[in-house]
Amino acid sequence: MPVLRPILVRLPPGGVAFAESVHGPGFRMAERADAFHKLIYVLQGSVELIPTEFGRPLSARAGSVLCVAAGVRHRIADREPPTLLLLCFAPELLERDTPLQKLWGILTPGRAAVRAGGAWGPRFEGLWRAGIAEQAGDRPGRDVALRAAAENILVAVARSPADAPADAATQRVAAVVGEIAGTFYEPWSLERACRRAGMSRRHFSKLFRAQTGKSFLDHLTTLRLDHAAALLRDNRHSIIGAAFSSGYGDLSHFYRLFRARFGQPPRAWLEKN
């Protein structure tokens, strides 16, 4: 239901809360400072974050994320009625995790920043959905799962490219390319990738090749086999384990692809590397 003023967010004992805010046409927000850190993902519409202590407004359109540190005085002004996905978390979560604290520092160099839409968008949305599902339930490990989803979101946003393609179709394909880079071990198919991008096989394949230099299947296979080779080289994984961890359930199929890429079956290749 559309709101006309900011929603009230109360952090649970675990220190992480996911929320949604759909702004009505008359939405107004007074200047405020929150006791928690927050990420604001613009699912639809566009907004401006006005951090009063910095002066310069930060514009965020659909697919972008705003990162606001606790204690920063700010307000949000709508440009197009937005739907916002919020991740709010307690500063204490960073205080006991130095790497996570450094990551948050990357995202908020001036204590507030905007990341333009990019390949991390679908990853954010998936993790947000997972966070909402956990938050709505009461399964064992709920708080742990919520923290993990929050941490993974921070990583996804921090790894976002500096520049996103301007063309909408190109941007959607870039988002899929980025999602595959982080989840190549999942059961990806061309059909799934096309659905994610919302376009035909022909159009998607053309744009995908333009961005990666390879067909969808060749790109996916390269990611998987390079990962398997790295696991084998690390000398802590069996051939079966490396194949499984890279997304292959059929060992004979893995052997054929590995030989085609590296010129030797896994065991012989490993003896020389």
Sign, Cα dihedral of 119, 121, 124, 126: negative
pLDDT digits (tens, 9 = 90+) for 232-255: 998 889 999 999 999 999 999 999
Strand partners of residue 24: none
- Got the DSSP string for 31-70? -B--SSEEEEEEEEEEEEEEETTT---EEEETT-EEEE-T
Q: Which two tokens stand for residue 37?
A: 């850190």
The residues that bridge with 60 in the sheet, in sequence order, are: 47
**pLDDT (mean) for 70-75:** 93
Closest CA to 196 of 166, 173, 223: 173
Measured distance CA(118)–CA(1) in Å, rounded: 28
pLDDT range class, residue 132, cuts 50, 70, 90 = very high
CA–CA separation, 63 and 61 (whole Å)? 6
**207, 169 in Cβ contact below 8 A?**
yes
Range among 42-51, 136-145, 214-223, 227-236 with highest mean pLDDT value: 214-223
DSSP category for residue 141: T
Domains and CATH numbers, the chain: 16-158 (2.60.120.280), 168-271 (1.10.10.60)
Indicate the pLDDT class of residue 190, thresholds 50, 70 and 90: very high
Tokens read off for 273: 């590397």
* Least confident interval from 52-56, 173-177, 207-211, 269-273: 52-56
Residues 19-68 pLDDT 10s? 999 999 889 999 999 999 999 999 899 999 998 766 688 899 888 899 99
Selection from 41-55, 110-124, 160-174, 247-261 with the highest mean pLDDT: 247-261
pTM value surpassing 0.85? no
- Per-residue pLDDT tens for 199-212? 899 999 999 999 99
| pLDDT of 213 strictly over 80 | yes
Other CB atoms within 10 A of residue 230 CB: 12
Q: Running DSSP on this structure, what letter comes out for residue 214?
A: S
Higher pLDDT pick, 251 / 116: 251
CA atoms lying within 13 Å on the CB side of residue 55: 0
Amino acid at site 36 = F
